[in-house]
Every structure is written in structure tokens, then in C-alpha cells.
Amino acid sequence: MDIAVAGLHLTGQPLNHQLITLGGELVKTCRTAEHYKMFLIEDEKGRKPGLIRLPANKPGRAYVVEVWSLPMENVGKFLSFIPPPLGLGTITLEDATTVKGFICEHRVMEEGKDISHFLGWKSFLDSVK
């Protein structure tokens, strides 16, 4: 199963090992369609990004994601690692194809900081070094 990741599971990030340990292979780096906003989630476990799909009538942005192929028999285990307010849903990529990927509960729009203008997690991290 192909899964799009946008934050801590990206190559070189702290949770990338989860994908590798479960037999994941990097398929490609690309962008989402321009339907999303990215918010900073800060909790007791640290900080991470959350992508939220916007309604069709709201302008969004495209974000850098990696698409990883994960063996189907390991998808359930991978799901068990994902804490709220994150989850897996359907992400539309820039070429209009869809894959499963990380999405975020809408409440983060009120609780988190909008970091959309960075256009990706690694760009945000580079800005706070």
C-alpha cells in the first residue's frame, strides 16, 4: 500500500525508521494537490505537522510529501503507531492521483499554528534552526 508522509516519517526524520522496519520502500518525493493547509501540532511528545484538506471553495497550497510503499501485512501495525490528532486518510497528489496518507483532525486549525507558508515540514524545520 502506498502511503504519503509529510512530517516525522520523511527521510532523515525521527520516525522514518518505522517505515523502514516494516519493510517500507520510498517510491517518490512529490507534492500534494493545492487543497491543503499545514499546521504545527505541539504536545507532550514534541512537535509535528498536520495536513488538513480544505473545502473546494477555499484556496490551499501544495506540500512536499514522500510516498512510501508498505507491505499490506504491516499496514495495521503502522496504523497502531499513529497518535491523535493524526490519522490515515486519502491524499490527493499534484498529478491528481490519490494515495493513503497522513491527515489531521480539523480541531488543529483552532489549536495549532498555521505553518502553511513553509510548503513542507523540512522547510519549517530549517526556519527554526
- pLDDT tens across 17-31, in order? 999 999 999 999 999
| DSSP-H helix ranges across 31-114 | 75-80, 108-111
The dihedral region occupied by 22, where left means phi > 0, alpha psi between -120 and 50, and beta the remainder, is: alpha
Residue 114 DSSP one-character state: E
pLDDT band at 43 (very low <50, low <70, confident <90, very high): confident
3-state secondary structure of 41: strand
Looking at residue 44, what is its pLDDT? 85
pLDDT in tens, 56-66: 889 899 999 99
For domain 2-124, give the CATH number: 3.10.490.10
Whether residue 45 has pLDDT greater than 90: no
Closest CA to 95 of 67, 58, 124, 56: 67
| Secondary structure element (H or E) that encloses residue 1, with its range | none
pTM over 0.85: yes
Residue that the C-alpha cell 505537522 belongs to:
49
Strand partners, 25: 69
Q: Percent of the chain scored above 70 by pLDDT?
A: 100
Are 9 and 18 spatial neighbours (Cβ–Cβ below 8 Å)? yes
CA max distance for the chain: 40
